[in-house]
Structure 1
Amino acid sequence: MTPQPRTLDHPDRSEIRLEDVLHALSDPVRLQVVCFLAAGGESSCSAIDLAVSKSTTTHHFRVLREAGVIRQVYRGTAKMSSLRHEDLDALFPGLLDTVVTAYDAQRARLS
């Protein structure tokens, strides 16, 4: 018998709520993750250099996944993450692009 692939729970598009998305985007570490994924597409969690512990990184990715901001899938032992851009644009048109643009502008202004 073939073992079942590991899967993670994600909210259906119809279950994604604006207040959960905004909460997920309100944390600087999670915002950094979202902007990294927006620039590069799918990525493993370990490819993003965050100034927090591995357990804290796991927490931030879980918050983003449970809010419906990212989708995570296992590829072998790696957990790959990508933005749910299509779902978020369908529900909240322009929100994700606006947040990423504002974050980039803030980073440029503060550096």
Structure 2
Amino acid sequence: MPRPRAAGRTIAHPNLSAVSLQQVLDALVDPVRRAVVTQLGRAGEEISCGSFDVPVSVSTLTHHFNVLREAGVIRQYYVGTTKMNALRSEEMQERFPGLLSAVLAASGSDAQPTEA
């Protein structure tokens, strides 16, 4: 007998009005989380969890996604069995004007070697 179809999985996301600047800054202080945010910003579209280029295990990356989601920086949702990630750019811009843009700009300059 076939099993009943499971209902669509949903992931809880905080209302950004309840997120503090300190929580967002704490989330963005880690270089792996900044790399996730930078890759999402450069892609300009949603990215699946398994597509990020980061030097950590899958379980550690899951932790980093959770921290970013709980700080309101990213939104996650399922497409079938694939978990997708998107920046909450517009919402972050409303709540913390210029913050995400500054982080993305700084991440871009960090990747560039400086001239002596």
Q: Tell me the distance in 2 between the aligned counterparts of 1:109 and 1:12.
A: 38
Structure 1: runs of 5+ lacking an equivalent: none
SS of the residue corresponding to residue 82 of structure 1 reads: strand
Partner of 1:26: 29
How far apart are 1:4 and its partner, in Å?
1.9
| One-letter identity of the residue aligned with 2:54 | L
CA distance in 2, matches of 1:19, 1:93: 15
Task: Report percent identity of matched pairs.
Answer: 49
Match of 1:62 in 2: 66
Q: Give unpaired runs (5+ residues) of structure 2.
A: none
Q: Deviations over 1:12-45 (max 9, x none)?
A: 1221211111011100000000000001121001
Q: CA deviation at 1:109?
A: 2.6
Larger Rg: 2
How far is the alpha carbon of 1:2 from its aligned partner?
A: 5.7
Question: Normalization by structure 2: what TM-score?
Answer: 0.89
Cα separation, 1, equivalents of 2:48 and 2:56: 16
Pair 1:87 & 2:91 matched:
yes
Counterpart of 1:52 (choices 52, 56, 61) is 56
Letter in 2 for 1:33: V
TM-score normalised according to structure 1 size: 0.93
Q: Could you report, residue by residue, the CA deviation over 1:44-67 in whole angstroms, capped at 9, with x for unpaired residues?
A: 011111110110000000000011
The number of residue pairs the alignment matches comes to: 110
Give the counterpart letter for 1:28 in structure 2. Answer: P
| Separation (CA, whole Å) in 1 of partners of 2:57 and 2:83 | 17
Q: Of 10, 14, 19, which residue of structure 2 is paired with 1:16?
A: 19
- One-letter amino acid of the structure 2 residue matched with residue 107 of structure 1: A
Q: State the secondary structure of the residue aligned to 1:109.
A: coil
Distance 1:109 1:11 in 2: 37
Structure 1 or 2: larger helix share?
A: 1
State the 1:3 CA deviation.
Answer: 3.3
